[in-house]
Amino acid sequence: MATPPRTPSHASADPGLIRGLTSIDAFAIVVGGIIGTGIFLKPAVVAQLVGSPTLLLGAWAAAGLLTLAGALTYAELGALLPAAGGEYVFFRTAFGDGAAFAFGWTRSFTAGGALAAYGVAIATFLAALIPLGGNWVAMTAHPFGLDLHWQFGARQAVAIGFIAAFAGLNCLGVVAGGRAQTAIMVAKLGAIAIIVVGALLWSRDGSWEHLRAPAEHAGGAGVSAFGAAMLASLWAYNGWSFLPMSAGELRDPTRTLPRAIIGGTLMVVVIYLLVNLAFVYALPFSEIQSANSTRYPLALPVGTMAAESFLGPIGARVAAAAFVISTIGALNASTLALSRIPFAMARDGLFFEPLGRVSERTRAPVAAIVCFAAWGSILATLGSFDQLTNLVMFACWIFYGLGGAALIVLRRTKPDAPRPYRVLGYPVVPALLLVAAAWLVANTVRTNPGEAWAALGLMALGAPLYWVRRRQRRTRSDRDLVRVDATPTPP
């Protein structure tokens, strides 16, 4: 079925946005968007699932390879379709409005969970520096069999405050958001280097003997447990898809985007393997397993324990400061990139129209940013960190797999389209992304059914809105056509 003509927002240069992001800003969005909370919190969850240090490293390596496959696939798609919205544009071009709307609706809402998770993590880390106290009020509900704990206290107030602050920064324009991202990336890489080098060289009880599996887990983990561990570590890798969402604001996107997304992702994979190796060297595996997580909510994060292994008591404060810096970078990158999804949908007439407006003064999609931050603030009062991240990752990997399919489809339907970058290993790489994503999604339904069904239910809730918005857009197009046909022909 033919679709109505598109608004200029998806042309090669969006007239509402400005191309203010440099190649350095692009690299910072990739690296800073990926490295956030996960590397300091998720090793404990992965360790609990796989039961041995070697499988812990294996899960992070496997997740890194899968992430790289996604980055290579999106490098070609982003250079082919360098417009605001990322996957929304890919799916609309490859599969039509329905798939694009399903992505945009689901991602817009689950992305609020990403903001919430980052805000909660910042508050958690700050609590090691500044006493924040407990909850002021708390309630529990059980929708769809999922335990939701609504709570509000100083930590939630801090989380919401940071979400609001970076929403405000990005409302000042993409240049301000991009420059801030670059500065934060430099600071976070320096902080991570201190922890890794210190743990490997000066840890008091560091030993390569820690790499040996505990006797009770010598047999290794099952396939399902390894898949769940990969999903947990993939949260730490999440963010590699942010740059294509901001492609409409990149300078020279056809060159900058592939270089930044591939180079930045490779760098993060190496960093993550070094960080996990440092954790395993510095700490007995049992301590990693009992670090801060849903199972041990009052324990110290594994990164904090690693810092204390060579800095002593002051290590907790140094680590907390490093974690806050790292998480702030991910929060800023998420706010900058993910807000472009509802913006692109609104410009196409498939979402609420005010979200597609650009500020005349700052050339930023202010309404989309504000609504996005407001939803993230609400979610910051719900659920645990692991619940939020599982919900987000399940939804993300449904569409990452669809991204692999989109590349295969566009290679067939648009064979002559200019492709500044062609993915290495085609068609194996996008096919690997598609198959692995399908397996991860199916495995998540089995291992975390509450979060999985919550995400699927959220996706289904968008169907009525899609029907209404599409009908309204068709009606407007028909009226425009009638007005054109009714115009008298000049003599």
Q: Domain limits at 320? A: 14-485
The predicted pLDDT at position 461 comes to 85
Domain-embedded: residue 5: no
| Amino acid at site 68 | L
Residue 2 within a domain: no
In a domain, 1, yes or no: no
Ranges under pLDDT 50 in the chain: 1-14, 217-219, 481-491
Specify if 7 maps to a domain: no
- Is 453 inside any structural domain? yes
Predicted local confidence at residue 483, as pLDDT: 43
pLDDT (0 to 100) of residue 29: 95
Three state DSSP letters for the chain: CCCCCCCHHHCCCCCCCCCCECHHHHHHHHHHHHCCCHHHHHHHHHHHHHCCHHHHHHHHHHHHHHHHHHHHHHHHHHHHCCCCCCHHHHHHHHHCHHHHHHHHHHHHHHHHHHHHHHHHHHHHHHCCCCCCCCEEEEEEECHHHCCEEEEEEHHHHHHHHHHHHHHHHHHCCHHHHHHHHHHHHHHHHHHHHHHHHHHHHHCCCCCHHHHCCCHHHCCCCCHHHHHHHHHHHHHHHCCCCHHHHCHHHECCHHHHHHHHHHHHHHHHHHHHHHHHHHHHHHCCHHHHHCCCCCCCCCCCCHHHHHHHHHHCCHHHHHHHHHHHHHHHHHHHHHHHHHCHHHHHHHHCCCCCHHHHCCCCCCCCCHHHHHHHHHHHHHHCCCCCHHHHHHHHHHHHHHHHHHHHHHHHHHHHHCCCCCCCCCCCCCCHHHHHHHHHHHHHHHHHHHHCHHHHHHHHHHHHHHHHHHHHHHHHHHHHHHHHHHHHHCCCCCC
- What is the per-residue pLDDT across 285-338, written as a single tens digit (0 to 9) for each? 999 999 988 788 888 889 999 999 999 989 988 988 998 999 999 999 999 999
Does the N-terminal peptide bond of residue 427 adopt cis geometry, omega within 30 degrees of 0? yes
- Position 407 in a domain: yes
Q: What is the pLDDT of residue 458?
A: 76
Residue 6 lies in a domain: no
Judge whether 4 lies within some domain.
Answer: no
pLDDT at 297: 81
pLDDT of residue 177: 95
User: Residue 168 to residues 107, 204, 371: CA-CA distances in angstroms?
Assistant: 21, 44, 12
**Model pLDDT, residue 145:** 58
Q: What is the pLDDT of residues 304-313, one digit of tens each?
A: 999 999 999 8
- Could you tell me the CATH number of the domain that includes residue 431? 1.20.1740.10
Distant-in-sequence, close-in-space partners of 312: CB < 8 Å, separation ≥ 6: none
User: What is the tens place of the pLDDT at every residue in 203-253?
Assistant: 999 999 998 866 554 445 678 888 888 878 988 898 889 999 999 999 999
- Structural domain total, the chain: 1
